[in-house]
Structure 1
Amino acid sequence: MDNLITFSITVFTGFFAITNPISNMTVFVSLTQGMDKESKRDINKRANIIAFIIVTVFVLLGKFIFELFNISIPAFKITGGILIFFIGFEMLQSKQSNVKSIKNVNIDEDIAVSPLAIPILAGPGTIVTAMNFVSNVEPVHIALVIGIFMFMSILTYLTFRLSDLIVKLVGTNVIKVIGKIMGLIIAIIGTGMVIQGIKIAFNLMS
């Protein structure tokens, strides 16, 4: 039971850091600027549902994908860890991708799918993190990962829905500081994945 609680806390921390709803809500505000409340709610809901479906598919089909492309768990953990580390490192450097820097958006464009669902909410870092949590684990762990990401999707939805109010109350500077903290956590998670991959590859697991 204690192991499941520890696992759940680790998964939640990883997902919260990589999806970063507090930092990403400023992106949502920018992308939906000029839209009415109903349109914002619709885009918010669809983006989170699509992101949840994408991550769930990769979680459930992770082992099949490994077998299909002959991917070993150590290779995945090392490569995925390096990818996640650099995502966190860029966040620490306050760098943003071109997707997150969009300021002018056509309201008729389906931004719920792209860029919100992909790659902001369900980008490579999120997918790699999710698949790492379910690699070589029991079905109960897979169910926990899906349930926790569902909770994260609901939390992100609520954060986006209250985004205008939160930005006014908290301010962009505090949000940037939170983004840097999340970047540090992501970099640490990435480093941990690399260490796990090396231990498994060389049979160093204790």
Structure 2
Amino acid sequence: MHELLTYALTVFLSFFAVMNPIANTPIFLGVVGDKTKEDKKHIAKKSTFTAFLIVVVFVIAGKYIFQLFGITIPAFKITGGVLLFYVGFEMLMSKKSKISTNQTEENSDSIAVSPLAIPILAGPGTIVTAMNQVTNAGYEKIAIVVVVFGVMIFLTYLAFVLSDRILEKLGGNLIAVIGKIMGLILAIIGTDMLMDGIKLSFNL
């Protein structure tokens, strides 16, 4: 039981570092523009639900996807580790998002799917993190990953709905600091994944 709780906490911290609901609130506000409160709520709901479905598909069918494309676990861990480290490094260096924020003319459903669901929420970093947690996991741990990701998606939905208040209360500077801390954690997770992949490759 203690092992499963530790595993669940590790998964939660990994997802939180990648997705970071608080740091994503300014991005959400920039994407939704001057839309009404109801539209913002609709966009928040659809984007988080779409992201949940995408990641759950990869969690459940990840092993079959590996088999289909002939991907080995060590190669996945090494590539995923490099990718997560790069994302974390960009966050530490305060790189601005390349997502265009001039989306006010698009309809709500279009904005919810892209860029919010993909690639902001269910981007490569999130998918890599999810699949890394279940590469050698049994059904029990796969269920934990799905549940924990569901919790993270719900927290993201709340952050999006309350984005105006969060930005007003915390301010841009504090959110930037939180983003840097999450970037450092993400870079460490990526390094650990890379080292694990190298160990598996050379049977160390």
TM-score using structure 2 length = 0.97
Aligned to 1:93: 93
Within 5 A, what are the aligned runs for 1:1-206? 1-99=1-99, 101-108=100-107, 110-204=110-204
Q: Does the 8 Å CA contact 1:32/1:107 hold for their aligned counterparts?
A: no
Cα RMSD, aligned residues only: 1.1
Aligned-residue sequence identity (percent) comes to: 57
Counterpart code for 1:19: M
Unmatched 5+ stretches in structure 2: none
Q: Deviations over 1:90-129 (max 9, x none)?
A: 0000002311x52453142610000000000000010011
For 1:98 and 1:125, locate their aligned partners in 2 and report how far apart those are by CA, in whole Å: 15
- Measured after TM superposition, the shift of residue 33 of structure 1 is 2.1
CA contact under 8 A between 2:77 and 2:132: conserved in structure 1? yes
Structure 1 consecutive aligned stretches of length 4 or more whose deviation exceeds 4 Å? none
Q: Deviations over 1:34-65 (max 9, x none)?
A: 11111111000000000000000000110001
Which residue identity does 1:199 align to in structure 2?
K
Q: Is the contact between residue 103 and residue 111 of structure 2 (CA under 8 Å) also seen in structure 1?
A: no
Partners of 2:160 and 2:97 in 1: how far apart?
Answer: 20
Once residues 8 and 62 of structure 1 are traced to their aligned partners in structure 2, the CA distance between those partners, rounded to angstroms, is 19
Provide the C-alpha distance between the structure 2 equivalents of 1:105 and 1:145, rounded to a whole number of angstroms: 35
- CA shift, 1:203, in A, is 1.8
The one-letter amino acid paired with 2:196 is Q
Name the count of aligned residue pairs. 203
TM-score normalized by the length of structure 1 = 0.96
Q: Contact 2:82–2:190 at 8 Å: present in 1 too?
A: yes
- Describe the superposition over 1:66-101 as per-residue Cα deviations: whole angstroms up to 9, x where unpaired: 1001111000000000001000000000002311x5
- Post-superposition offset of 1:185: 0.5
Work out the CA distance in 2 between the residues paired with 1:34 and 1:173. 23
**Contact 1:84-1:187 within 8 A present in 2 as well:** yes
The one-letter amino acid paired with 2:86 is: F
What letter corresponds to residue 156 of structure 2 in structure 1?
T
